[in-house]
Amino acid sequence: MNRTVGGDGTSAVADALAAPWGVAAGRARFWRSSATHVFVIEDPAFPHGARFLRAVPAARRTLEEIDCTARLVVELDRRGLGVATPAASRGGRWGEHVRTALGAYHVMMVEAAPGRTIEADQLSVGQAGVWGAALAALHECAVDMPGLRPKEERRIEAVFPDDPELVAAITPLIDRLAALPRDAARFGPAHNDFEPDNLAWQDERLTAFDFDEAGPSWFAADVAAATEDLRAEADPALFDAFVRGYRSVKPLEDGELALLPLFDLVRATDRLILIHGVLDLDPGAAYPEWLVRLRARLETRGERLRRRILRNSCHM
């Protein structure tokens, strides 16, 4: 995708992706690219001055999943939570299937979140409490999420058939995860990426965005995903404030907090599986230099994750 973007941020592919929303050519400009390609359309007529176009390869995410995510966010907004809401296409749909020169994409448009993002270690104690309370409020909504399912069973042996050491380290983690209770007090609607870079702040009020990973999960796993970087900081005051904020809205037992290291390793496993899939290239084929460099970076990241899992799984 990056190779199609001009010096001014425009792209013929972006124009095609934005067309179902009636966006004129040249208006959508590149914002960032990772698992999702994001473009921004600035317009003072929009509620917060801009909207963001979010596109994923069609094989990675279904239109049903996009529609379910959009309806979840709309319901959260209706219940008063601060969320960046989706914008329907001219056809009245939350998601659109768009064919481009780079292949088929599933696309949605969302309103900009008002305010600015703040790094975890730059939050005030008060903001950390608001953050925790906001995640608890999402968990308290207990909304139905038809079409959004928990992660598929992780078949570790099939993914890493030539790495028995890694399989032996991961298997007990997955077994322990499968044995955890899924009652309504502990399991339900989760953002699954409620990190500070997906939150916009206006003073002490936050707006959450990027619900791409939303789906049913353990609430403690959502807490783990949100606070992983925060817990790596030497000063525990912000995490303590997060927990107090969460508990001001919804119970969070000490036993659930004790599971955070387990959820961290399971999340590391999911990242490693994703990287492994991306690296599944023909070793005998010739690839462009940019792809060779990307593969090298991902291999380095994957090896770090592998070492982390091997180092810590024995403590679970």
205-232 pLDDT tens trace: 999 999 988 888 999 999 999 999 999 8
Task: Name which of 196, 43, 194 is nearest 115 in CA terms.
Answer: 196
Q: What is the pLDDT of residue 242?
A: 97
Phi, psi of 225 (to 5 degrees): -65, -40
Report how far residue 51's alpha carbon sits from residue 40's, in angstroms, rounded to the nearest whole number.
Answer: 6
Q: Which residues have CB under 8 Å from 247's CB, separation 6+?
A: 132, 136
User: How high is the pLDDT of residue 203?
Assistant: 84
Planar angle of CA 16, 20, 23, nearest 5 degrees? 75
* Tens digit of pLDDT at every position of the chain (316 positions): 556 677 777 888 899 999 999 999 999 999 888 778 899 999 888 888 899 999 999 988 899 989 989 998 999 999 999 999 999 999 999 999 999 988 899 999 999 999 999 998 899 999 999 999 999 999 998 776 666 666 666 688 888 999 999 999 999 999 999 999 999 999 998 999 999 999 999 988 999 999 988 888 999 999 999 999 999 876 799 999 999 999 999 999 999 999 999 999 999 999 998 888 766 666 667 767 767 787 888 888 999 999 999 999 877 7
The values of phi and psi at residue 95, to 5°, are -125, 150
> Please, are residues 110 and 51 in contact by the beta-carbon 8 Å criterion?
yes
Cβ neighbours of residue 8 closer than 8 Å, sequence gap 6 or more = 29
Please report, to the nearest 10 degrees, the dihedral formed by the alpha carbons of residues 101, 106, 107, 113 taken in order: -130
Q: How far is CA 301 from its chain centroid? A: 18
Instruction: Give the chain's domains with CATH numbers.
Output: 2-111 (3.30.200.20), 120-315 (3.90.1200.10)
